[in-house]
Each structure stands twice: as C-alpha cells, then as structure tokens.
Structure 1
C-alpha cells in the first residue's frame, strides 16, 4: 500500500484525551462534572497504557513482526513522544486539580489530610478504621523477600518506610493494598454546619499506621501512594484441544500477571523504596516511570461524594420517543413504520419494552440478538430469560472477547445457558461488534419479522450518557440480512465468510463495507471532477484506516466538500497544498460521550444516509463483524441530517481538528452560541 502522511494513531488519541482535560479546565462546567472529567481522563490514560503502550512495547520486542496487531513504522519514536506528551498533560492535570480544590474550598468542601484533622475527626478516623477498615488491610513486609508480592493491576498501594527515631538507618519496607473495591475511596468526616470535610481511604490507613505496626516498636512512618499499570492484552493460542471459553479464561488469568508498562508514584516517596520497587518490577528509567502528586488512580473520583450545592449538573432528562409515547404496544408501531431512537435524548426503556413485549407475545417464536457490553444488572438479559421461560427460542451472540468485559460476558453466557438460551460465542480471530436484533412471530399463518440495528451497546446504563442511534424496523430486506448474519454465526463452517455475501441491503464487515464506502466516495470524486456538487459528511469515534484516509485525500484533491465529526482518534491531515478543498473536521466533547457513527453522501442529489456500528479503523473494517444500515425513510433521513447539522454548527463544545493537534475551540461570530447537545435535545423534544 502506498505510504501516506497521517498523524500516528496513539498521538491522535492523546490529543483526544487532552480535549477531555479541557472540559475539566472549563470554569463554566459544574465542579462535580469537572472532577468527573479528570476521572475520565485518568481512566482513559490507564487503559491507553494497558492496551496501546503495551502493544507498542511488544512491537519493539518482536523481531519477526508476527503478531495479532498492526505494526507502527517506528514504535520507539512513538513511545518517546507519548512519554513527553503524558508528562505535559500530567502537569496540566495537576494545575487543574489545584484550581478545582480552590473552588471547592470556596464552596466549603475540603479534602483533609492527616495533619489537618480536628480532635473530633481524629477520634472518628481511629474508630472508623477499627470498625470498617482494619479487617480489609493486610500489610506485607517486603524488603527481605526474594521476589515482590503480586501487585494487582488497577489497584492502589501505600508504600511504607518504618524506622525508629533513634536508629533511622534501620528501615523496614511494607506494602498495603488500599481496599477501595470493598470500601470505596471517600469517607465523610464530622464537620461544622455548612461545611463538608472528606478524607481519602489511604489517609485513614496512613493515620493508623502506628496502630497497624504497633507490635514492631516503630515510631516513625513515611508512607506514599503508588500504582502499577500492566499489559492488558492476551493472545488466544491456537491449541485446538481447548475451547474458546477455556482460552479466554486462561487469557484473563495471564492478564493479571502482565508485564508492568507504567509505574506512577508520589514524587515525595522515599528514594530507597522507589529504587527497590523499580528494581523488583524489572523496570528501567527508560520505562514509563511517572512521578506525580499525592493522589493516584483518579478514576475513583467518578464516585466523588455528592456534597456540592444542589445545582443542576445534567443537561436534560431522557424522554420516550413521541411515536412510542402513550402506546400500549411498541411492536404495533414498528410494524407500521421505522423509528429512530437517539440516545440519551430518547429513553432506552423503549428497547427493553420491545423485548419484554416479545417475551410475552404468544405469537413470537424466536429472538436473535447480539451482545457486546451489557449493564451489570442487565434488563436486556432479564427480558431474554423471560422469553425462554415463555417457550420462545432465544439465540444470543455473546462476544466473549469484548475488552475488559470478558469475565462479565463469560458469566452472562453461563447464566443464559442455564436458562435454556442458545449462546453463540463468535468466530476465531474476529470480534462480533454489530448491534443487531431480529424477532420472528407467526400471526394468521403469516411470518412477521421486526427488530433493530444500532450504533451502540445494548446497555441501559451507558445509554444514559452515550450518544447513539438505534433504528427500529420491520423492513423485510434489512431483517433478511440480519438473519443472514446470524445464520453465518450459527454455521458449523464459520470460516466461510462468503456466506455474508447474501447481505444485499446492509453494509457488513469484513465483506463489503470497505468496498462500498470506497465506491460511495469514488462517486463523489467523479461528481466533483465533473464540476458537480459533491459532499461527504462522516461522524465517527475514530478515523485511522489508511485506505479510507487516502480516498478522502483524493476526494479533497478533487474538490469534494468533506465534513467530519470525530470524537477520538483522527489520523487524517486536513490541510494540504494538493487539496482543492481542505477537510473540515471537529470533535465534540461534552456531557454525553459522542458514540454514534453516521455517513451521509450527496450522491448526485439523491442523498444516501447510513448509521453503523463500525468506525473507520483497520480492526473494524477487516477484523470484526460490523453492520451499517441505510436510512430510507424520508422523515428519519431529515431528522438525522438535522442532528448532524446541529453538531457541525456547535460553537461551544466543538474543537477544530487540525494538522497541529491544537484542539482550538470553534468560535462563531453569531450572537447565539450553539451547544449541540442542548440544541439536539430541544429539537427532538419539540418534534
């Protein structure tokens, strides 16, 4: 393939995480939400190290380049650049957090350390430790051990240096895992009226160190926080004697033993303990060893106590789609017309209600549905189990390799099979990422089918914060293609991808989506070269596929108007002297996470509009089962176009994506500032 100039994927991703940091820095965002964005930034970065940095390090280690991932041209140069960017962002993170602390203090909200406690608070902390914490604390003396005890990924540790006042040279090292999972990170302290005092769990343990180690006779303690991030990837081996389930179970266990890829610590930690930990973790100073402040694992701050003044933090509340409101049966509506749900503006309850109706409908014979990430107490699963108990055939495609959801999905698989659900577990070396469902019923001896296809997960929890689309439909052509996908997934010889060629109305990966997208772009190029109107509008999470970027470059050079809304990874260069029209690209980071994928092509005035589960990435287009559906209903096409137009006009939360990764906000000279998520809510509410 011809080498084209693009922004490295991982550097572009860090630019996205900087946009998240911008939200935390925005003084117009409520304090609780600003803290949440710092937590999101921290959680994002942790997963970035667990997956992408780990992958880059394995690229360097592998000389034969035989691996299950795409190789970067110069992984070491990218790692070096990552280190520089991460340290810069960390300094910005610390500055923002200090500003937020200052603003919290103005609101009489204080995070207290052990030196700031009143006499009453000290008494409370001592009692709370005895009653709630002590049974969950297991101190480990480590310096005489031949190997470091197993340190869990995503856990938080207190490194303790103990000594006696008269003999400081005789120090002992100890580790304590902070039991955040069992107890939470935050404890509300007794405080004066009108004030809120909070202490972190690690400080409760730090305060009680003299009691924890009282039997050793130490009287001086130096304790600081650190955490280790490990390689989260695992390879599925080719042992034909083991099932995919067994391989995934083995992979999950191996993940827990993954090599450390980042070591973050309080920069005031004892130098001797720091050197000891680095040595025992087999790290060198060339690795991602990152000094920081006193607080680590900031992702826990997503659960920061709600002690803020009662100000409205969420923009709006989800509502039932007007076509489904006050209707006794959703099914009857869908059998008459297509319905587009746009979450989180529209309520996800309608999806659950549809499955509940199917579970109770005596005419329904079967439900086929795919599942990638589910809520922890999934109402989707409950509806499917009720369907089985009512005598329906239920087939669930459960993707066991959904990263970080593998254990949960294994548990769902077991529960569903216990209830009599037929569970499909996908195909080797390829995840099933399509969000599809087909329900079959027989009424008056006639087969009737209906269902849906979506851009996001069937997860009622994330549907409250992820902006996605879902199309309810009874279109026979679409449902036949969905049936073909399930037939393919159920077949014994699943390596025969030609079976997916039966799909004539859906774009499906890995078979025809890439080819069809290239053809659609080629049509716009042809129109532009003939001096006709040509336009491409694309909304994605990520754009990194080299072939599609190359084709977009060709379109820009031909004079096609290209408008992009890309939340995360964006590897394309927007400006080039060969382009007749530069590419316009923005990223919107706001209250809701923009997760939908939509494609609009002018197509000689006969506009073609699609929604899809697939981003424009190599992994999605060539290594996953994905599906895109064309919207043919004129009313829905207009509605989706209006939503996209509102987002393209955002002048509050949109950042311009450019060659320099500057993340500058889009500004408008118009008097009215457009915040697209609020405008979309109002647009849909008033339809």
Structure 2
C-alpha cells in the first residue's frame, strides 16, 4: 500500500494557494490575499508540523536503526526544506515581478525594497517621531549575555550593524523591534502624479534608524524573525483543565525555535554570529527576503476603489421559505432544513438560538463549541437563555489550537451568567459540531437538533463552505441527548442493551466501523457486477486503515471519487481512484460521504476528516441526510464540484496539482459560482 508523506502533501496544497496568486484570471487584490494566506499557512506549518519533522530527522541522524521501527518513516526534512525554498522563491517572484507592477498599473505603489520618494520623507519622519518611536525597544547584543535577549514568536525585528566615530573598525550590533502587532503594517502616503503610495512599517523604521543610535554610523539593517514550536501536549491534561490550558498557552510562546528567518542580504559572519547567539541549528536557518510576516498583505490598503480589483459581490441568499415562518423552531419540528454556508445566510442559525433563548417553552439547550467567534452572537444568545431561566449546557473545547484563549474568555463569561460549562476531556478533543434544544409543552417534549460540518461560528461562516442540518428526527435527536449525557458524565451510553448509536456515526463508538461496513458493501456489490461508487469530500485524508479500505475498494472495481482540500496521503494507484482539489474564494471545509448502495444512495455529512487524530483521538459526529430533497441538494453540489474545470486540479502520484482541462466545446464550470447560482435557484 502506497502512502504519500503528509507534510509534502500539505505543502502541495499550500503551493496550490500560491498558484492562485499567480492566476491572472483572479482579481488583483484577491491574488495578494492568496499570498497572505500562503504566508500564514506556512507560519503555522513551522509552528505545528516542523517540530515533529526536525525531531524525526534528529532521531534518525543519531540512531539510523530507528528507521526500522514501523512507527518512524525516513526523514523527509531535506525534501521539505527544498520544496519550501522553491515555493518561497516563487512567492518572491510573484510579488515583485507580477503583483507590485500590477498594483502600480492601477495607480497604487507599495514601497518594496527601494528608496522612498523625496516628497514622502518628511511625512515618514513625522509619522516615525509621533506614532512609532514610543513602541520601539532597541537592545544592544552583548555577545557575553545572550540570555538577556529573547525573540518573541513570529514578531519582526531588524538587526542593525553599527560603528562609532571613536572606533570605526569595531562593529557593534543592536536589535530593534518592528511593532506590527501594535501599529498598522501599512501606512498610506500622499499621492504623487495620480499614484497612491503605501509604505510598510519596516521601512518607516529603516528610514529613521539613525535617529535611534546617535553618534553611530549604520552599516546595515537586516530583518529577522523566529518561529517557535506551538505543539504543546494538550492530551495529557487532567484535573483543573482550565488552569493547565492557560499555563500551556503562555509556555507555547516560549517554545523552542523551529525556524530562524533572515534577510538574504545579511552577511555570512553576522548570520553565523546570530546563529550562535540565539542557539539556532543549521537546519533551522531559513533564507528569506527583506520583509517577513507577509501574511499582513491581507490588510493592504486599497486606496483605488475599483470593482475589477476584487471578487464580484456574491451575497448570501435568503431562504424564502424561512423568511415568512413566525417561529423557526416550529418549522424545524415539521421538516428537516439544510443550510449551505456561505451561499445561504447563516443568520438562520443565529435566529434559531435567539428564538430558543426567549421561547418560554424551551427548557434546555446543549451545544459543543470548538472555535467560538470573537464577538459570538451564539454565545450571547446562550447567556441570554441562561439568564432567562433555561438550563444551558455548553461543552467548550479548550484544546482548539490557537483559539484556546478566546474559548477560555467566552467560557468564563458564560459561566458567570449561569451557563453550565463542561471543559475538555483529558486525552480527547471534542470536535463534533452539534446542538440540541428541548422544548416542553405540558407532558410533551419536543427535540430539535443542529448538526454541522463546521463550527458554530458566524465569522468563519462568511468564507468557509459548510452545511448545517436542523432536524427533529426522533432517533437522531435522542442519540444527541445520549452523547451530551456522555460528555457530562464520561459514562459510556447504553441504550436498550444495544449499541447506543444507530443513526449517528460517533468517533470512539461506531464511526470507523460503520464507514468500513459501507465501503465493504460497495466492494461486495462491485464483485457481484453491480454498480459501485464511493464519493468523499474531506479536508484531510491520512488515516492508514481507511486508506487501505479505499485501495481495496478501488482494486475490486469500486469507483472512488474524492475531493480533498489539503493533506492527502492516498495516491491514484489505479484508474478507479480520482482525487480533486479545489482552492477558490471560499475555503472548502465540508465533509460529505456518498455511498452508491446499488442505486439507493446513502448520504452522510459531519465533522470528521479521515485523520488519525479525528478517528482515534476525538469525539466526532457524522450524520445521515434522510430527506430525499436535501440529499439531492448535496449530490448536486458535489456534482458541480466534480465538474469544475476552471479552478479544480487533479492530484497525481507525485501530489502535483494538474489543472482540469476544459474539453473543446464544453462549458466552463466554476464550482463555487455555480453552487451560488444553484442555491439561489432553489428559491424558485
């Protein structure tokens, strides 16, 4: 069984993001945003994945026999470093050769590694003296006291080479912070000849660096950035989980270096000096450009307002049948509702929780929150519900990487309002996207459930493609209640001496077995000469056993069609396996599973990617779509994505992104535009 390396596969995905910045059919400012996304993704890779890659490489260099251990594959560090270097080179060329000239052609000029126009120097100096200077903390690098200097994670600095008039041959070095986390990275300047100018904070400081060191001559000024290991062991938590997570967040920023990014113009002796001073290993040194943290390009000002520079507006669609219903909860009790974000308005989800908070017949609300919006209206609705006397139980996952602090803040706020807060389970993450509302009318209890492929987060719902099912299906909602009971008590749910979950697929209980059974059914059908097909859409595919099942299915004659956005460790070993990737204006985030079942197709959605962590170390929930009309909606959305011949690529055995060719005479299909048109037409 062939498996592609997960980290090289992820780099293939990030390269596809970079390719979008190179695509001239994409509007200019959107291309710049794709550069920003590429840079942000790479930063996270160095924080989260590079520590493991470096550790394996170190182990194998010191103990080559460890490669015989099945748990350890050979070191991929050289291949990873080579690919990152290649991509960064293309990144620089894309920005300087294509995008900056294109900006200038649209009357916007970003100063980038060039002298500042004389007419701007006075304004830049004034800005430096009045706005920037108070944020600077220059430090001399005393070679005998390296412990006195600590580089903060992913913060920007310049190392300044200086000499004094008294000792012109004696070089001294100082460190100056670039406070881009406190001040805007970009500042607009006065137009010159109908061209709008923008200067970076880095250059505001460089232009005035001599002011900081009176009596010295500045010989050179070189940017640096250090990235630190962010992979704290959240699985070992016990007892006071909240306190431990808060401690781990603080420790994360003190993690060991995984990348020391330096200006390529930096002289070798200075580079060697800094490596020794900050205890940087050779494999952690990464050559970069004059400017780092170019994820900040997401905030590049747009002084020229032109519709051609950004994607055309694609407003979220109203669902007409929901606009006129007096109570959304009543509608859910009558029929299943499926919402496709961001194509349809996420406001219906907000409305559901808002109504539940005020409805006098609603007695109990349960929900899992993995990544809470910074200004969460859902969390505010839960607070209102608790203050209105309802029993509100919220499972807050404190181990959601890089969102821990925000989740803790909201958890404390909700708890203060009377919400019952349940914190993380040691050794498990709860990644399921589920909610349950219980309403009592006399002696009758009504249950309404929400299950989704993405977080209950109205901020990300604007640009993540996800699906939310609202249902009163008795079997599914009762199983949701059992799962919430388990999350509160940690006691295995038992139902009538049978398996507790018949409708829901729940990781740690039945999810892997049920998916395996459905794959086996397709294999059996193929061997009997019946049509057999598996269609899967995921963010990531890496778990070996599930990959083995898919290989087995393809070898038996099952057509295996996959849409995998990011990590993909399966290879198209035969003609029955096809793998597509779609990167476009929205982040493809949904998980959908369709099994042909000899013409009686079964359709599932859910939160679970097929990764080791999702299937074996998390609580995940996948759920069936029973309503035939809603099944058709999902199948049509998948059909449009499989038909995409403008942005979709096919992954080959080398994980290269091969553009899908538009056949002569065929109609161009952009899946995301076509899906927006499709959900708009659903109202008709």
The aligned residue for residue 572 of structure 1 is 570
Give ranges in structure 2 of 5+ residues lacking alignment: 64-68
Kindly report which structure 2 residues correspond to 1:53-452, keeping only aligned pairs within 5 A, or say none: 53-60=50-57, 74=72, 77-98=75-96, 99-112=98-111, 116-148=115-147, 149-164=149-164, 167-192=167-192, 194-214=194-214, 217-236=215-234, 243-285=240-282, 287-311=283-307, 313-315=310-312, 316-452=314-450
Contact 1:538 1:563 in 2 (8 A): yes
Contact 1:154 1:227 in 2 (8 A): yes
CA distance in 2, matches of 1:516, 1:237: 26
Report the alpha carbon displacement of residue 75 of structure 1 after superposing the two structures with TM. 5.5
The aligned residue for residue 593 of structure 1 is 587
Q: TM-score if structure 1 supplies the norm length?
A: 0.94
- Tell me the secondary structure at the aligned position of residue 192 of structure 2: coil
- Superposition CA RMSD, Å: 2.0
After superposition, what is the alpha-carbon deviation per residue over 1:54-90, rounded to whole angstroms, capped at 9, x for unaligned?
122234556999xxxxx98555621121001101111
Change (3 A) 1:516 1:54: same
- Tell me the secondary structure at the aligned position of residue 219 of structure 1: strand
1:27 is the counterpart of 2:21: no
1:651 is the counterpart of 2:658: no
Moved more, 621-630 or 186-195: 186-195
Change (3 A) 1:237 1:451: closer
Change (3 A) 1:498 1:567: farther
CA distance in 2, matches of 1:547, 1:399: 27
Q: TM-score if structure 2 supplies the norm length?
A: 0.94
Report the alpha carbon displacement of residue 602 of structure 1 after superposing the two structures with TM. 0.6
Report the alpha carbon displacement of residue 586 of structure 1 after superposing the two structures with TM. 0.4
CA distance in 2, matches of 1:73, 1:166: 61
After superposition, what is the alpha-carbon deviation per residue over 1:383-419, rounded to whole angstroms, capped at 9, x for unaligned?
1111111111111110000001111111111111111
Moved more, 520-529 or 665-674: 665-674
Moved more, 461-470 or 300-309: 300-309
After superposition, what is the alpha-carbon deviation per residue over 1:345-387, rounded to whole angstroms, capped at 9, x for unaligned?
0111111111000011111111101101111111111111111
Change (3 A) 1:319 1:666: same
Change (3 A) 1:507 1:552: same
Contact 1:60 1:75 in 2 (8 A): no
Contact 1:237 1:247 in 2 (8 A): no
Contact 2:365 2:435 in 1 (8 A): yes
CA distance in 2, matches of 1:660, 1:488: 43
Report the alpha carbon displacement of residue 131 of structure 1 after superposing the two structures with TM. 1.6
CA distance in 1, matches of 2:630, 2:235: 45
Report the alpha carbon displacement of residue 167 of structure 1 after superposing the two structures with TM. 4.4
Change (3 A) 1:9 1:535: same
CA distance in 2, matches of 1:45, 1:14: 9
Give the length in aligned residue pairs.
Answer: 669
CA distance in 1, matches of 2:8, 2:626: 38
CA distance in 2, matches of 1:237, 1:508: 19
Of 511, 520, 523, which residue of structure 2 is paired with 1:522?
520
The aligned residue for residue 629 of structure 2 is 635
CA distance in 2, matches of 1:296, 1:116: 18
Moved more, 396-405 or 166-175: 166-175
Report the alpha carbon displacement of residue 195 of structure 1 after superposing the two structures with TM. 1.5
Kindly report which structure 2 residues correspond to 1:4-43, keeping only aligned pairs within 5 A, or say none: 4-43=1-40
Change (3 A) 1:72 1:213: farther
Report the alpha carbon displacement of residue 426 of structure 1 after superposing the two structures with TM. 2.4
Report the alpha carbon displacement of residue 164 of structure 1 after superposing the two structures with TM. 3.3
Contact 2:364 2:392 in 1 (8 A): yes
Report the alpha carbon displacement of residue 147 of structure 1 after superposing the two structures with TM. 1.7
CA distance in 2, matches of 1:400, 1:193: 53
- Tell me the secondary structure at the aligned position of residue 659 of structure 2: coil
Report the alpha carbon displacement of residue 115 of structure 1 after superposing the two structures with TM. 5.6
Report the alpha carbon displacement of residue 146 of structure 1 after superposing the two structures with TM. 1.5
After superposition, what is the alpha-carbon deviation per residue over 1:479-511, rounded to whole angstroms, capped at 9, x for unaligned?
1111111100100x45x4879941221000021
The aligned residue for residue 658 of structure 2 is 664
CA distance in 1, matches of 2:167, 2:424: 63
After superposition, what is the alpha-carbon deviation per residue over 1:603-632, rounded to whole angstroms, capped at 9, x for unaligned?
121100000100011110111000001000
